[in-house]
Amino acid sequence: MGRVLREKYTRQPTPFCPGCGHGIFLNAFLHAVDELGLDFDKTVFVSGIGCGAWVPSPHFQADTLHVTHGRAVAFATGVKTANPDLNVIVIGGDGDIATIGGNHLIHAARRNLPLKVFCLNNFLYGMTGGQVSATTPQGDITSTTRQGNPERPFDLVDLARGAGAPYVARFPVSQPRKLKRGIINALSFDQFAFMDVLSLCPTQYGRANRAKRGYEGPSMIWSMLEHQKGTVAPREKLDSENPEGKIPIGEWYAES
């Protein structure tokens, strides 16, 4: 499958760091695309600036619009309204989509055009040097919060649901099969869909928080993946009680 996906959907290998969680998302995404039979000739990928934004552009063999930082969702709104026959998919990071671009995200959710927005959430700015973002957990170390992040993060699922998104999901890259299933559901949904993809940045986040989070072993990314699996649980299980403060994963459909 690896070769098939590469040849069918990509133009070139990614420049991501070894073990980058965004690569695992890319892998799951293309598995989903292939399983769905999504027509790449009728699909436009819109992405802004940052590592996550590089997933589709310049890598996917579809129309790609690589735009200014934070504005991908707004550009996508123009693309989709001007030609509703196109599948319009936004992929980007938490800095891009949820921090500088947060305003566009909530308004797109409210507007409920059938856009698909995947936020590859690695809890900080990767490409620009590991700075704190709107999703960095309180206390975490980033290059601009050396003593630990004093601010509270956004919960992107709550944010998108609060803004009215009729499909919201959260899946971790450490569970690629669930992630793929979610992507299929999001892509086949007929309205606005948002996914908080719990990604991993070994280079910036991993190194900075190695001691704090206890990432061990020679392969830090593997330890991060293992750790991530331990921090999440299906939302259905957490609805009644969540003593360990696990991060709920799964899908939230608006009751209609």
Partner 1 sequence: MPRNKTFAVTLDQDLCKGSDCYICVNACPKGVLAEGERITSKGLRPAQVKDPDACTGCRICETLCPDLAITISDTSQAATTVPAVGRRQPASPSSGGWTTSPGALKPGPHYMMGDDACAEGAIAAGCAFYAGYPITPASEIMLRMATRLPETGGVFVQMEDEIASMAAVIGASWSGLKGMTATAGPGFSLMMENIGYACMTETPCVVVDIQRAGPSTGQASRPASGDIMQAKWGTHGGVEIIALVPWSVQEMYDLTIRAFNLSERFRVPVILLGDAIVGHLRESFHVEETVELFDRAKVPGAPPFGTEEEAGVPPMPAFGQGERLLITGSTHNEFGIRKTADPEVQQRLVRRLSRKIVAHLDEITDYELYYEDDAQRMVIAYGSTARSALWAVKRARDHGEKVGMLRLKSIWPFPGEVIRQWGDACQELIVPETNLGQVSQLVQQHATTPVSLVSQTNGEIMDPRRVTDFLLDGRTKLAS
31 binds, among ligand SF4, partner 1, none (CB under 5 to 8 A by kind): partner 1
Residues recorded for the chain = 256
Residues 93-122 that bind ligand SF4 (CB under 6 A): 122
Per the structure block, which two tokens stand in for 174?
């450490």
Q: How far apart are CA 77 and CA 87, in angstroms?
A: 12
AA identity, residue 87: N
Is there binding between residue 56 and ligand SF4 (CB under 6 A)? no
Figure out which of the listed residues 36, 50, 52, 58 binds partner 1, where binding follows CB under 8 A: 58
Figure out which of the listed residues 86, 113, 127, 233 binds ligand SF4, where binding follows CB under 6 A: 127
AA identity, residue 179: L
Figure out which of the listed residues 82, 147, 241, 245 binds partner 1, where binding follows CB under 8 A: 82
Q: Which is nearer to ligand SF4, 43 or 199 (CB)?
A: 199
Tokens 């959430």, residue located: 121
Residues 151-210 that bind partner 1 (CB under 8 A): 176-177, 180, 202
Is there binding between residue 133 and ligand SF4 (CB under 6 A)? no
**Which of 133, 152, 130 is CA-nearest to residue 143?**
130
204 binds, among partner 1, ligand SF4, none (CB under 5 to 8 A by kind): ligand SF4
- Residue 38 beta carbon to ligand SF4: minimum distance, rounded to whole angstroms: 24
Residue 87, judged by CB atoms within 10 A of its CB (0-12, 13-18, 19+), counts as: middle
Residues 171-210 that bind ligand SF4 (CB under 6 A): 201-204
91 binds, among partner 1, ligand SF4, none (CB under 5 to 8 A by kind): none
Is there binding between residue 127 and partner 1 (CB under 8 A)? no
Q: How far apart are CA 148 and CA 137, in angstroms?
A: 9
3-class DSSP state for residue 155? coil
Q: How far apart are CA 43 and CA 63, in angstroms?
A: 6
Q: How far apart are CA 193 and CA 118, in angstroms?
A: 8
In the complex, the residues that contact ligand SF4 under the rule CB under 6 A are 16-17, 20, 22, 51, 122, 126-127, 201-204
